[in-house]
């Protein structure tokens, strides 16, 4: 192997830049040429390539987002689009590819390995932490810290005005972010897609809390929550808005809703995200040099390892009920 490429795909995540930096400098250390690909899989099709040297990744370890830029690419989902991408890589002399992204990005890695001679591996980069076979995905620690900081600030206002606040966080179909930040932030109720609930249960807990003298109530809800108001979200706009309106209707309490949105993806990566990203990226280069393909780098029991991509994207991960139950106990 003489030349490898690196790209970021899908939603950006803090820690992608440290991962890019580690891919480039580890590869150069081992005598490889490195090609950067802008705009994810779209860049493969449009041949948006450029050579990367050690200096190309100077002073990016602390930066959020991705210097390679990111995009979603419908054309890569077509056979014709992928054939064009493969031809471009072969013309450039690319032997291996490192893709940093979530489950959609990893599915692209699978296609490349199945349909071409190029060896491709994946690094899990998503704030949702919704992949199997790994305890950790790049970006989740920074996102959690951003959410907890927002919770802290909202609590100040909630207490001052004796209000109930509903805070909606990201996570797609996973409740991981809501659960962990709800525990860390001391939310009174945590609503996640994996666990059923009724609006009345939430309202009863809020009411009981105020009767005991609580000055505020914070409800953390994951964006992927659909039941029990799937029919209401089109009218209300989102799970958070729907929950806020239902609390007002059922309790008569003054309720505010904060949808944190994309601010959860930004910001300088935490030390943990920088360290894990750097270690994962170095491992990705090492396994390419070893001739491996169709693998994802994982993080289990504080160790960097390798797993089959097929197993990682099965999404068999479930909510940790011990943590969920603890959050409920501590919020009483």
CATH number for the domain spanning 281: value is: 3.40.50.450
**Domain-located, residue 298:** yes
Count the neighbouring beta carbons within 10 Å of the beta carbon of residue 151.
Answer: 23
Q: List 142's β-bridge partners, or say none.
A: none
Question: Any idea what DSSP says for residue 216?
Answer: -
The answer to whether residues 246 and 303 belong to one domain is no
The answer to whether residues 198 and 182 belong to one domain is yes
Percent pLDDT > 70 in the chain is 97
Residue 87's Cβ-count burial label (10 Å; 0-12, 13-18, 19+) is middle
- pLDDT value at residue 316: 59
The answer to whether residues 8 and 111 belong to one domain is yes
233: CATH: 3.40.50.460
Q: What is the largest CA-CA distance in the chain?
A: 71
The answer to whether residues 159 and 229 belong to one domain is yes
**Domain-located, residue 218:** yes
How many domains, in total, are found in the chain?
Answer: 2
Phi/psi of residue 190, nearest 5 degrees = -120, 120
The answer to whether residues 158 and 256 belong to one domain is yes
**Domain-located, residue 323:** no
Which residue numbers are catalytic?
Answer: 128
**Domain-located, residue 317:** no
pLDDT in tens, 45-64: 999 999 999 999 999 999 99
The answer to whether residues 96 and 167 belong to one domain is no
Q: What pTM did the predictor assign? A: 0.94
The mean per-residue pLDDT over the stretch 85-104 comes to 97
The answer to whether residues 152 and 130 belong to one domain is no
Phi/psi of residue 73, nearest 5 degrees = -135, 105
**Domain-located, residue 321:** no
pLDDT in tens, 211-225: 888 888 999 999 999
Query: What is the residue-averaged pLDDT of the chain?
Result: 93
**Domain-located, residue 322:** no
Q: Is 72 annotated as a binding residue?
A: yes
**Domain-located, residue 320:** no
Residue 232 pLDDT class (50, 70, 90 cuts)? low
Phi/psi of residue 156, nearest 5 degrees = -60, -45
What's the domain range around 32?
Answer: 3-139+269-312
Q: Is 208 annotated as a binding residue?
A: no
Q: Is 135 annotated as a binding residue?
A: no
The mean per-residue pLDDT over the stretch 266-290 comes to 98
**Domain-located, residue 169:** yes
Q: Is 104 annotated as a binding residue?
A: yes
């Amino acid at each position: 192997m003489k030349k490898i490429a690196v790209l970021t795909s899908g939603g950006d995540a803090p820690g992608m830049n440290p991962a890019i930096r580690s891919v480039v400098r580890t590869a150069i250390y081992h005598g490889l040429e490195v090609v950067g690909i802008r705009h994810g899989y779209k860049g493969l099709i449009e041949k948006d390539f450029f050579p990367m040297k050690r200096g190309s990744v100077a002073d990016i370890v602390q930066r959020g987002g991705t210097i390679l830029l990111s995009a979603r690419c419908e054309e890569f989902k077509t056979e014709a689009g992928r054939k064009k991408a493969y031809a471009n890589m072969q013309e450039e002399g690319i032997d291996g590819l490192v893709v940093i992204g979530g489950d959609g990005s990893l599915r692209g890695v699978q296609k490349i390995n199945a349909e071409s001679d190029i060896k491709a591996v994946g690094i899990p980069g998503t704030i949702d932490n919704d992949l199997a076979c790994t305890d950790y995905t790049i970006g989740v620690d920074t996102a959690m810290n951003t959410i907890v900081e927002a919770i802290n600030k909202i609590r100040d206002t909630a207490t001052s005005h004796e209000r109930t606040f509903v805070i909606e966080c990201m996570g797609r179909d996973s409740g991981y972010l809501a659960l962990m930040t709800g525990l860390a932030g001391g939310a009174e109720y945590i609503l996640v897609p994996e666990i059923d609930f009724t609006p009345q249960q939430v309202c009863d807990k809020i009411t009981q809390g105020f009767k005991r003298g609580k000055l505020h109530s914070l409800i953390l809800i994951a964006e992927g929550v659909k039941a029990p108001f799937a029919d209401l979200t089109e009218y209300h706009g989102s799970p958070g808005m729907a929950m806020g309106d239902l609390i007002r209707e059922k309790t008569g309490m003054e309720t505010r809703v904060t949808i944190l949105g994309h601010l959860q993806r930004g910001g300088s990566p935490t030390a943990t995200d920088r360290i894990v990203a750097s270690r994962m990226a170095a491992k990705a280069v090492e396994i390419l040099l070893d001739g491996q393909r169709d693998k994802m780098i994982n993080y289990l029991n504080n160790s960097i390892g390798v797993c089959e991509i097929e197993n990682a994207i099965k999404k068999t991960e479930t909510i940790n009920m011990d943590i969920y139950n603890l959050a409920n106990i501590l919020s009483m």
